[in-house]
Chains A and B, each alone.
Chain A
């Protein structure tokens, strides 16, 4: 379709460039701040053009926040969450779609309802559970009298304890349950024709072999899309690691480190705010997920649209 609309084209570019400026200005200002010295960054009219201190500031921010081990931690947790979420989504959806049993709608709904319980609204009790992940089982055993029974029979006091605070497990485990991922996989599995299942069974494949040799190779695009979204999600976790990790030196994550960099009275002790370091650290922290989104743009967009999140 060929139309000549020179005026509208010009207007389109003007509007888009204007929008881009709005989107880019805050980050550009942060970047410029990261390239200045302490005096320059605090001089009254804001600087719009970068200085030459970027590398020095990055090094100083890196050393000050001890980012080395924290990047390793974040990478471990993000990878754990991505692998965990995809595995769980895949096997749960597989069991729900390819096995016939009563109560599978019930299970489906139980997973669905978790969508309505985001971490933020159940944060205090979830933290209590993380302090001892076996509390639910202990309580149930106490209520039902099983603890008493065990105590009476064997003389062993039942005191289940599994502390998840300050551990990778504690950072990863509560984040790997995934309703959206399970739905995505379920949608995909529902499109697999019955003939494929029949053929596999006729060739003598059991359910696990069918999953591994047929379904997983077919769902590679799903995996790529989910992995991109989930990596960004996991990397950017803030509230949960903020609570679960008190030993920041050993288990700190980079995003949480930002909360220590807010240049207020607490961190500067009434001195000049160190904006140049705070902004340098911010740049370092946000770079990896941005790189993922830009490099994997196709998968990212597809994942976002398919999972609604």
Chain B
């Protein structure tokens, strides 16, 4: 608490007003609206909305397509997180050794963060393209074996690889920062006790990275639920046979292509609860700063 401050006046109110107005109009109102739509059903040919209780949720939760979407979202979340974090951690630990070329390595790993999700999707659509991409080799030997637009597991693999590729840089930055904040005295003490670099990685650096690790775990999972839209939209378009219809993508298609506002709202509420739970876990249980004392 500050001892010296200015008295509350119209100035403070004027400074707070813009942000409050914007979050009211674009955050709280739409969220309330989603809640309203989720519990009501729009009557055909006008006539307003009627209260239907949990019917929309019941309909969504008994829809096999919805569970398919949940399933693939979970697979996507776990697979991208594991892939991206393993890669980021390995690279960060070795970049942290600061050998020759350390700065060049660092830049080369960081820049993919700046690539827009739809651009990643489009680039990977080319890379995985059966006729022109990397797997065109396989298709010259065994024609038709690789085709994203035909085989669900291949499409899921493609979005996972693309999603993980995009996430690596973010985790890398955090791992590297955490590694560099490990006090030199600790490393030196370990070295004096005879611990060689590899031993220090396993017994010193990895344990000290645990808080960062859990922080990134939650952030990566949350991001994979919300940020996947661009990749799916340009890489697979949700197909084939809805195999890559992630939750966000399904909300979008149900709401804007199917005009099923109530169904989309019910799905939004479920996703919102999921994101809230993850954010809560992140702030309540996950301490991201590394403590040494």
Binding site for B on A (CB under 8 A): 1, 3, 5, 8-9, 12-13, 15-16, 19-20, 22-27, 29-30, 33, 41-46, 88, 91-92, 94-101, 107, 110-111, 114-118, 120-129, 133, 135-136, 173-174, 176-177, 182, 194-195, 197-198, 201, 206-208, 210, 232, 235-236, 238-239, 243, 255-256, 258-259, 261-262, 264, 273, 275, 278-279, 282, 285-286, 289-290, 292-294, 297, 300-301, 304-305, 308
CB-defined A-B contacts under 8 Å, sample of 19: A8-B197, A15-B91, A16-B95, A23-B108, A29-B123, A30-B126, A44-B131, A46-B132, A91-B19, A115-B279, A117-B31, A121-B275, A173-B26, A259-B234, A279-B123, A293-B110, A300-B110, A304-B113, A308-B219
CB of B136 within 8 A of CB of A304, answer no
**Cα of A22 to Cα of B112 in the assembled complex, Å:** 12
Tell me the residues in window 6-27 of chain B with beta carbons closer than 8 Å to chain A beta carbons. 6-9, 11-12, 15-16, 18-20, 22-27
- B101 contacts across to A, CB distance below 8 A: 13
- A305 contacts across to B, CB distance below 8 A: 173-174, 177
With known contacts A282-B119, A304-B170, A125–B34 Cβ distance under 8 A: yes
Binding site for A on B (CB under 8 A): 2-9, 11-12, 15-16, 18-20, 22-31, 33-34, 37, 87, 90-91, 94-95, 97, 99, 101, 105, 107-119, 122-127, 129, 131-134, 136-137, 139-140, 165, 168, 170, 173-174, 177, 184, 187-188, 191, 196-198, 219, 226-227, 229-230, 233-234, 237, 248, 251-252, 255-256, 261, 264-265, 268, 271-272, 275-276, 279-280, 288
The minimal Cβ–Cβ distance linking A210 to chain B, given in whole angstroms, is 8
Q: Determine the main DSSP class of B at the interface with A.
A: helix
The minimal Cβ–Cβ distance linking A308 to chain B, given in whole angstroms, is 7
CB of B191 within 8 A of CB of A3, answer yes
CB of B117 within 8 A of CB of A94, answer no
With known contacts A19-B90, A29-B126, A45-B140, A258–B234 Cβ distance under 8 A: yes
CB of B27 within 8 A of CB of A8, answer no
CB of A46 within 8 A of CB of B134, answer yes
The 3 closest A-B pairs by CB, nearest first: A236-B116, A125-B30, A125-B33
Q: Which of B33, B112, B197 is in CB contact (< 8 Å) with A23? A: B112
- Look across to chain B and name the residue whose beta carbon is closest to the beta carbon of A289: B114
CB of A116 within 8 A of CB of B108, answer no
CB of B268 within 8 A of CB of A124, answer yes
- Look across to chain B and name the residue whose beta carbon is closest to the beta carbon of A205: B6
- Look across to chain A and name the residue whose beta carbon is closest to the beta carbon of B105: A16
CB of A33 within 8 A of CB of B132, answer yes
> How many pairs of residues, A versus B, come closer than 8 Å at their CB atoms?
295
Instruction: Kindly name the residue among B3, B20, B25, B288 whose own CB sees the greatest number of chain A CB atoms within 10 A.
Output: B25
With known contacts A8-B197, A29-B133, A232-B114, A124–B15 Cβ distance under 8 A: no
- A285 contacts across to B, CB distance below 8 A: 116, 119
Known contacts A111-B23, A121-B271, A236-B114; 18 further A-B pairs (Cβ under 8 A) = A9-B99, A24-B108, A26-B124, A29-B123, A33-B126, A46-B136, A88-B22, A99-B6, A116-B280, A124-B256, A126-B26, A129-B29, A177-B26, A194-B4, A195-B4, A259-B234, A279-B122, A282-B119
CB of B33 within 8 A of CB of A118, answer no
**Cα of A302 to Cα of B237 in the assembled complex, Å:** 35
CB of A207 within 8 A of CB of B255, answer no
- B131 contacts across to A, CB distance below 8 A: 42, 44, 273
The minimal Cβ–Cβ distance linking B56 to chain A, given in whole angstroms, is 13
**Cα of A43 to Cα of B131 in the assembled complex, Å:** 8
CB of A29 within 8 A of CB of B134, answer yes
Q: Which of B11, B27, B265 is in CB contact (< 8 Å) with A117? A: B27
With known contacts A117-B31, A301-B173, A15–B22 Cβ distance under 8 A: no
**Cα of A294 to Cα of B4 in the assembled complex, Å:** 41
CB of A118 within 8 A of CB of B226, answer yes
Instruction: Kindly name the residue among A88, A122, A176 whose own CB sees the greatest number of chain B CB atoms within 10 A.
Output: A122
CB of A197 within 8 A of CB of B268, answer no
CB of A177 within 8 A of CB of B19, answer yes
CB of B116 within 8 A of CB of A286, answer yes
- A135 contacts across to B, CB distance below 8 A: 29
CB of A20 within 8 A of CB of B109, answer yes
With known contacts A26-B123, A26-B165, A124–B115 Cβ distance under 8 A: no
CB of A198 within 8 A of CB of B140, answer no
With known contacts A121-B272, A124-B256, A136-B29, A101–B12 Cβ distance under 8 A: yes
CB of A122 within 8 A of CB of B134, answer no
With known contacts A3-B191, A19-B109, A235–B276 Cβ distance under 8 A: no
The minimal Cβ–Cβ distance linking B217 to chain A, given in whole angstroms, is 14
CB of A293 within 8 A of CB of B113, answer yes
CB of B123 within 8 A of CB of A30, answer yes
CB of A294 within 8 A of CB of B107, answer yes
CB of A194 within 8 A of CB of B197, answer no
CB of A116 within 8 A of CB of B30, answer no
- Look across to chain A and name the residue whose beta carbon is closest to the beta carbon of B26: A174
**Cα of A294 to Cα of B115 in the assembled complex, Å:** 12
- B12 contacts across to A, CB distance below 8 A: 95, 99, 101, 207
- A129 contacts across to B, CB distance below 8 A: 25-26, 29-30, 33
